[in-house]
Amino acid sequence: MNEPLKIAVAGLGTVGAGILKLLAEHGDMLEGRCGRRIEVTAVSAREQGKDRGVSLEGLEFFQDAAKMARDADADVIVELIGGADGIAKETVEAAITASRHVVTANKALIAHHGTELALKAEAAGVSLAYEAAVAGGIPIIKALREGLAANGIKSIHGILNGTCNYILSRMRDEGLEFVEVLEDAQRLGYAETDPEFDIEGVDAAHKLAILASLAFGRKLNFDGVHIEGITRISQMDIRFAEELGFRVKLLGIASQNDHGIEQRVHPCLVPADAPIASVEGVFNAVVAEGDFVDTLMMEGRGAGEGPTASAVCADLADIARGIQIPAFGIPAKKLEASATVSMDAHKGAYYIRLMVIDRPGIFADVATTLRDNEVSMESILQHGRGAPGEAVPVVVTLHETEEVRASAVIETISHLDGVLEAPVMIRIENL
């Protein structure tokens, strides 16, 4: 009989407790599939006596996760603490130094330090696995690194944050404003008390940086991700998008061309009949375009106890089977840096919503601005007229143009007499 794979779990929050539950329930099944048992020997958390719905009986307990990574009787350290630096990074580095495999769900840590940690792990001869860091229970890391290994990936895009997708879905379905849905999402546990990383796009950007590195075989470059959140999206934008045949989604999009890699996270108008437009609520979806497989889409729950524990245990199963693959598909020392394609170089169509005083001449001023910047208007929407001095919404959509021109148009329009607030711009993606 093979010796069990001994694991120590750093962090006993929702996911940590979920892993203990999953292994208790499916331990025999995993043993049959892996050829050896996966056995928890130690855990670390701030409080030992807290009720987490799982038994810690017989497990060595550490308050210091880094000490556990150095001293516990374990082959694998599972890091579930979170955060790009601090004790999470210290714990992972201590585990690698002690020649222990690492499994983590920490997207911030991988996005900021993944290349460096992969180099250290390979030098130590251990695995650095992070399936749970991106899109929860969707096995997109394994798909890109292994299932699509024979493909050149042309682009990748997806809904990478369930909180934002939940908010935008409810705004459309129930006619609610952003703030109303955010408050409800916090009450239901779909959004954090401090939701900034989610609603400002940072969480999705962490995940996109990881996917881009995997897809294109390049060093991680989180600083090269253009990031915008959803806080300026209003019920008006949702309604106008529907009228134009689109839905609003926060997408992460990465592509590679002769000038480098473009990485961007921002709200998009996507055609209502596009497959990704039908992904609703807290679900995530990732779409990869390969030169031999064409387009592949994977959808599922992007967070939560069960999906994330499932992804962690998938990595543990690989280690138990003796499968060891470079963290980013090729040896980390062969990962090269890539130039960042500036957003100014992006070309696409645009939705612009203005709040204007309904007076003669305002449309002529907008048209002159478009002409002066050599930008072509596709359509214009205005419903009804406002009372004297009252603001009314006007939506202009632009044909494909360079971002730098669209930005110049918006900057000029924002200073026109009669435009009452900064225009809202949403990029149109014909996915």
pLDDT band at residue 357 using 50, 70 and 90 as cut-offs:
confident
Residue 361 has pLDDT above 80, yes or no: no
DSSP reduced 3-state for 303: coil
Q: How much is the mean pLDDT over the chain?
A: 94
pLDDT at 385: 65
Domains with residue ranges and CATH for the chain: 5-133 (3.40.50.720), 152-301 (3.30.360.10), 344-428 (3.30.70.260)
* Interval 63-72: pLDDT, tens: 999 999 999 9
Q: Which long-range contacts (CB under 8 A, 24 or more apart) does 47-56 make?
A: 50/12, 52/12, 52/16, 52/17, 53/17, 53/21, 54/17, 54/20, 54/21, 54/24
Give the catalytic positions in this structure.
207
Measured in degrees and rounded to the nearest 5, phi and psi for residue 285 equal -155, 145
Q: Positive or negative, the Cα torsion across 38, 43, 45, 48?
A: positive
| Residue recorded with tokens 């001293």 | 71
With a pLDDT cut of 70, the percent of the chain lying above it is 98
* Interval 272-321: pLDDT, tens: 999 999 999 999 999 999 999 999 999 999 888 999 999 999 999 999 99
End-to-end CA distance of the chain: 51
- For residue 89, give every residue at least 6 positions away whose Cβ sits within 8 Å of its Cβ, in sequence order, or none: 83, 109, 113
* Interval 363-376: pLDDT, tens: 888 889 999 999 99
Measured in degrees and rounded to the nearest 5, phi and psi for residue 333 equal -70, -15
